[in-house]
Structure 1
Amino acid sequence: MLLFWEQGFESTSLSQLRETMGNISASSFYSTFKSKEALFEEVIEMYMDTFGQVTFCLKDSSLEPKQAIEQALRQSAKMQTDGAHPLGCFLVLSATTCSVENAHIRDMLSKQRKLTRDWLTACIQNAVEKGQLKETTDVAMLTTVFQSFLFGISTQARDGVKFDTINNAVTQIMKVWDSLAL
C-alpha cells in the first residue's frame, strides 16, 4: 500500500512490488494477486479499512452534521500530515493522472472519492432538513467547498505544510458553514 501511495499506480513497477513483498517471484505474485491492478484494488480496500476511516464520521448519525464535517476535516488533516506513512491521501494522489490505458484505475479511485462526496452531501442536506442551515443553502456548492478543501489537504501535506497550519485552515473553512447557519 505504501509504495502505491508514495509513487502512484503507474509509477510503481512489478519488480518494486515483488521486492517490497520479500523478493517473491513473478509467478508467486501472479498466483496470489492475478495482476498489479487486482493488487491495487485490494490496496484501495485496505486503505479504506485503515487510513480512510478518518472520513467515516461523515456517516455517523449520532454526530451533528457540522461536527461530522469538521471532525472529518481535522482527522484527515492529522492523518495526511503524519510522517509515519506517505503524506497526503492515497485516494487523491495515487492515480489522479493516468495514461489512457489506465483510465479505469483513475475511475476506481474516483468512485471511492465519490463516496466521500455523497457522505458530505448527506451531512449538508441533513443540516438543511434539521433547520441548522438556511433552506436556500446550495447543497452542491457547499459540498464542493468542503470536498475541495478536504482533497486539497493532500497537496498541502505532500508539499510539507504542517498539521497546525492546516488545522487552523479548517477553523477558517468552517466559517463558511457558520455564514449559512440559522
Structure 2
Amino acid sequence: MDVTRKAPIGRPRGFDADVALERAMLVFWEQGYEGASLADLTTAMGITKTSMYAAFGNKENLFRKALERYLEGPAAYTALAMHEPTARAVATAFLAGAVSACTLPGSPSGCMTVQGALAAGEPGHTARDLLVSLRGTGQEHLRDRFARAVDEGDLPAGADPAMLARYVMTVGNGIAVQAAGGATRDQLQRVADAALRNWPPI
C-alpha cells in the first residue's frame, strides 16, 4: 500500500508494521525461511518490497524479527515453563506448551523453530544456524533448571540433567514434526503424557 501522507524520514508509514510482521511470521512458520519468497512475504504483509526493506531491512532481518515475535507469542511457553516449581512440572508445562503451540487453530501446524530451516541450502544457512543455536539454548536452559532440581532434592542425586533436557527437547521437537504431519492435539498430548511416565521418581 502506498504512503498516503508525508511521514518523518526513516519511519515508513502507510501500513501497520505490527500487523505486517505478524503476517510475515505466519508465512515463515508455514513455508520455512527458504520456502518463503519475497513475493509471498510482501503479498501476505500487504506492502511493496520497497516498504519491506525500509521497515524491516532484508529478508534475513525480517526473519529474525518474525522469530522474535514467535518466541514472545506462540512459543512463550518455553520461557514460562522454567518458572514451574518442580522439574516434573517444568517438563509437563514445556510439552503441553509444545502441543498447544503446534496445533493452534488458525495457525500453521508444527513449530517455526523446528521447521523454519531444518534443511537449508546456501541462502538459508544463516537462518538454519540461528534456529540450531536457539534450540540449543533452550536445551541448556532446561539442563540448568534440572541441575538446580538435583541440588534441591527435587530430582534424585543420580539424575542426569543434560540427558533429561535432551529427552524433553527431543519429545518436544518430535511433537512439532508430528503436528506438521497432521497429528491432532489430543493425539500429541497423549504422547506427551506417555513421555512423562518415564520421569525419574524422587
Q: TM-score, with normalisation over the residues of structure 1?
A: 0.91
> Runs of 5+ in structure 2 lacking a partner?
1-24
Aligned to 2:124: 102
Contact persistence 2:111–2:176 (CA under 8 A): yes
Residue 117 of structure 1: how far off its partner (Å)? 0.6
Aligned to 2:19: none
Residue 123 of structure 1: how far off its partner (Å)? 2.4
Residue 6 of structure 1: how far off its partner (Å)? 0.4
Q: Which has the larger radius of gyration?
A: 2
Q: Deviation string for 1:115-152 (max 9, x for gaps)? A: 32122112211221122222121222221111100111
Work out whether 1:5 is the aligned partner of 2:17. Answer: no
Alignment match of 1:128 (pick from 128, 141, 150): 150
Work out whether 1:45 is the aligned partner of 2:68. Answer: yes
* Superposed structure 1 runs of 4+ greater than 6 Å apart: none
CA–CA distance in 2 between the matches of 1:82 and 1:166? 13
Residue 38 of structure 1: how far off its partner (Å)? 0.7
Residue 97 of structure 1: how far off its partner (Å)? 0.9
Higher relative contact order (CA 8 A, sep 6+): 1
Aligned to 1:71: 93
Residues 87-96 or 129-138, more deviating: 129-138
Residue 26 of structure 1: how far off its partner (Å)? 2.1
Q: TM-score, with normalisation over the residues of structure 2?
A: 0.83
Q: Percent of aligned positions with the same letter in both sequences?
A: 29
Contact persistence 1:69–1:123 (CA under 8 A): no
Contact persistence 1:78–1:163 (CA under 8 A): yes
Contact persistence 2:75–2:101 (CA under 8 A): no
SS for the counterpart of 1:132 is coil
